Amino acid sequence: MTYPLLVLRLCFFDNLSIEMATALSYEDLRKQARHLENEIDLKLVAFSKLGAGIKAPHTKHSDTVPLLSGEDTFEAMAVEIETLLSKLSQVNERLSEQPVSGAAMLHTLQRHRDISADLSREFNKTNSQHNYRKDRDDLLKGSNENFRSDGVNNRRDIYLKENQHAHNSDRLVNEQITIAMETRENLTTQRQHLKRLQTRFNDISNRYPLINSLIQRINLRKRRDSIILGLLVSACTILMLIYAFH
């Protein structure tokens, strides 16, 4: 498949997904943003490894050169990641157009924008490093010196793995903070509702004093009836005991 056809297909699916995103809710857009972030993160790891492992061919015979080299695969993956980053930016714009309902939503929107910026920065960094390495290989092409970079590549892979672990941990912590903030907002809302109900009850009791006095009289009558019933029961018990012993 040639690159123009690949770009056209990616643009077509990109526009289709954007049109579908217009009818999505806040939660659906948020899930789509998370899915795109995870997909881009995984592709960036493979993209960095691919860029670090590409070496310029030094053979003179064109028959031995493969039809699809590592450079072609790198460029195809770069086009795909650029499309996904563009799609993520548009989803974040859709999220920012949603009505804001609290501090937790603002924090979530800011977090998605920061993740998109970090992913774009990582992509540009890998692309620039690859271009620098490609230019250096072109300058050194034809010389008899061989530069071994296996140790450097191994250290780079270790650093990339550590960076990915730290990024995932940071994302989990931010999600827990968001859940805690949403829970706090819900509890605050419930407390405000209870305060309003208590205020309404106080207003009703102050506005209608006859109802309050009637309730007090009913309570006093209940107490008096309870006292009388208790005296009668105790008197009957005493009489029964006297009769039983005599």
Q: Quick: pLDDT tens for 192-216.
A: 999 998 888 777 777 777 777 777 8
In a domain, 141, yes or no: no
**Pair 167, 114 in one domain:** yes
pLDDT at 227: 94
For the segment 51-71, the average pLDDT, to the nearest whole number, is 52
Query: pLDDT tens across 35-44, in order?
Result: 888 888 888 8
Residues 230 and 131 occupy one common structural domain = no
For residue 70, name the pLDDT band (cuts at 50, 70, 90).
Answer: low
Name which of 60-64, 143-147, 162-166 the model is least confident about: 60-64
Q: What domain range is 240 assigned to?
A: 213-245
How many domains are there within the chain? 2
In this structure, the answer to whether residues 241 and 167 fall within a common structural domain is no
Asked whether residue 1 carries a pLDDT value surpassing 70, the answer given is no
Written as one string, the DSSP assignment of the chain is --HHHHHHHHHHHHHHHHHHHTT--HHHHHHHHHHHHHHHHHHHHHHHHHHHH------S-GGGS-SS-HHHHHHHHHHHHHHHHHHHHHHHHHHHTSPP-SHHHHHHHHHHHHHHHHHHHHHHHHHHHHHHHHHHHHHHTT-S-----HHHHHHHHHHHHHHHHHHHHHHHHHHHHHHHHHHHHHHHHHHHHHHHHHHHHHHHHHH-HHHHHHHHHHHHHHHHHHHHHHHHHHHHHHHHHHHHH-
